[in-house]
Amino acid sequence: MSRIWKPSVTVAAIIARDERFLMIEEETEDGVRINQPAGHLDPDETLQQAVIRETLEETAHDFTPTGLIGTYLSRYVSPKTGEQVTYLRFAFAGELGAAHQRALDHGILRTVWMSQAELLASQARHRSPLVMQCVNDYLAGQRAPLSLLYTHPSALSATRHDHE
């Protein structure tokens, strides 16, 4: 059995409007938590496709990524099970688009616009310490062009190319 360590790859959308950030409240095993629209990279999708999909599923809005705020590595230890998971998060700045009449993803209780001060005051309820770090980096103007992200075609098809 292979013992290769692999982090969980996630994406997050950092969406600002009128000095507020679009956040979600979600039910987790640790109670109700605050997070950006975020989730796991699925097979056969690019990082940009993942953040667009996750934002739609969790906010019922379209999202257009415009820049990469940063990449973040963190470890979560479940207080209930002691299980450790390492996350590799890609946070994207972008524009919120049209709203759709659809249910929010399972576990998402609501969306809420929060100021930096409100986010700072609610850090004990954040899903992870990366929530505030991504907001701080966004506010500092940290952006990289999306052209830095490349997805080889082999990652998007059911047939993998083992020798490329």
Q: Indicate which CATH number applies to the domain containing 91.
A: 3.90.79.10
Determine if residue 18 is left, alpha or beta; phi over 0 gives left, psi from -120 to 50 gives alpha, anything else beta: left
Closest CA to 75 of 65, 63, 84: 84
Asked if residue 153 belongs to a domain, the reply is no
Structural domain including 43 reads: 8-143
Average pLDDT over residues 116-122: 98
In a domain, 164, yes or no: no
Residue 162 above 60 pLDDT? no
| The pLDDT value given to residue 164 | 42
- For 4, phi and psi rounded to 5 degrees? -70, 125
What's the pTM? 0.91
Q: How many domains does the chain have?
A: 1
* pLDDT tens digits along 59-93: 999 999 999 999 999 998 877 788 899 999 999 99
Q: Which residue has the tokens 């257009």?
A: 64
User: Quick one: which of 1, 21, 3 has its CA closest to 12?
Assistant: 21
pLDDT of residue 158: 61
In angstroms, the CA 30 to CA 118 distance is 21
What is the predicted pLDDT for the residue at 69? 98
